């Protein structure tokens, strides 16, 4: 079950995604940067409050164009 706090975070993230799309469409680079900073702040707030941030991190990476880091698979003994 999602808490009201988590639901509000989800709403704010969705709102930021829409605002980012609009800012990019209007070539508003400063606004894009500001909105990405706001999204980063929400991720930090969520983490500080022990909310799972995996999905928010994925969204942040997509919005910033960051290349996700995939953990290296553990290798068994060499043959």
- Per-residue pLDDT reduced to its tens digit, 13-24: 999 999 999 999
- The burial of 56, by beta-carbon neighbours within 10 Å (0-12 exposed, 13-18 middle, 19 or more buried), is given as buried
Domain assignment present for 79 = no
Instruction: Report if pTM > 0.75.
Output: yes
38 in a structural domain: yes
Q: Say how many domains are in the chain.
A: 1
Residue 72 domain-assigned (yes or no): no
Q: Is residue 78 included in any domain, yes or no? A: no
Residue 31 in domain: yes
pLDDT above 90 coverage of the chain, percent: 61
Kindly state whether residue 75 falls inside one of the protein's structural domains. Answer: no
Contact 49, 5 (CB under 8 A): yes
Could you tell me the residue range of the domain that residue 27 belongs to? 4-64
Residue 70 maps to a domain = no
């Amino acid at each position: 079950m999602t808490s009201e706090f988590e639901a509000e975070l989800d709403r704010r993230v969705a709102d930021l995604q829409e605002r980012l799309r609009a800012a990019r469409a209007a070539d508003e680079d400063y606004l894009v940067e500001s909105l990405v900073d706001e999204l980063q702040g929400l991720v930090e707030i969520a983490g500080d409050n022990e909310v799972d941030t995996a999905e928010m991190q994925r969204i942040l990476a997509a919005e910033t164009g960051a290349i996700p880091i995939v953990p290296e698979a553990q290798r068994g003994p060499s043959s």
